[in-house]
Amino acid sequence: MKKFFTLVMALLLMSFFVACGGGEEKSTTPAEKAGRTAKKAAGYQATAVTDGGSISGKVSLAGAVPEKKKLEITKDVNVCGKTGHYDESVVVSADNGIANVVVKIVAIGKGKAMDALGESFTLDQNGCVFQPHINLVPAGGDLTILNSDGILHNIHTYSEKNGSVNVAQPGFKKKMKQNFAKAEIIRVACDVHNWMGGYIVVADHPYYSVTDASGGFELTDVPAGTYTVEFWQETFGKQTQEVTVTAGAAATANAEFAAGS
């Protein structure tokens, strides 16, 4: 009996030490993290956002959902023609949500750290399609460009603020990198396959989002304040809205584009 009692006591003591030890995590405050990861984005200051709010919503198309336009594949059919290709200039869900709309806060001076945008940024050429169609990349950061197809592609960007890129990427060159210094939305095309198109969105702060397949988006950890939110769609252009965010609360900003607008 005495032996049993000693064993129970030992187990109790062990669990006590395990419980205490588990709580000793090395913590990093948001301020430390923000300071450590502040990138070169000129004019933007990373600070700790302790009681931020959010802005979320849906971008919709007014009127009937347009029919998907199938594209004709005229080159490298054995690689590019494996899957169907559709026009991506307006991608609309069954309930009128528009995908691939770039949503951003205009001219926000400070807030969460730049790395909230993500850590690696990759544009793949896969099946002779740019994936993803819209690529976010932080100003001063690298975009990794992959060629998963094993055939010749030619990356060609149409930029105004950054230098233009016009580089062949033969099938054997699986990976290359490009740096974009200034905030801008840049159209990217392939000179070999004229149906290939996408956009590189160079961000000078982390409050950017791209709408998902159903048109939804969310901007998180937004410091309280009143902001201009911009919605950019490659065919319909841009529109803005004023949105007020209160500390710790969720604000809604829905937008609507009309076909032909």
| Chain contacts with Cu ion (rule: CB under 5 A) | 153, 190, 192-193, 196
Report the nearest approach of Cu ion to the CB of residue 118 (Å): 25
List, in sequence order, every residue forming a beta bridge with 217; answer none if it has no partner: 57
CA distance 136 to 151: 25
Q: Which two tokens stand for residue 219?
A: 């901007």
Comparing every residue's Cβ against Cu ion, the nearest one is: 190
Report the nearest approach of Cu ion to the CB of residue 163 (Å): 21
Residues found in the chain: 261
Report the nearest approach of Cu ion to the CB of residue 200 (Å): 16
CA distance 227 to 238: 16
CA distance 82 to 197: 18
Of residues 36 and 82, the one with the C-beta less far from Cu ion: 82
Q: How many CB atoms lie within 10 A of CB 25?
A: 6
Report the nearest approach of Cu ion to the CB of residue 25 (Å): 48
Of residues 49 and 188, the one with the C-beta less far from Cu ion: 188
Report the nearest approach of Cu ion to the CB of residue 192 (Å): 4
Q: Which two tokens stand for residue 161?
A: 């603020």
Contact indicator for 124, 144 with CB cutoff of 8 Å: no
Of residues 40 and 175, the one with the C-beta less far from Cu ion: 175
Of residues 31 and 176, the one with the C-beta less far from Cu ion: 176
Of residues 81 and 140, the one with the C-beta less far from Cu ion: 81
Q: Which two tokens stand for residue 37?
A: 């990861």
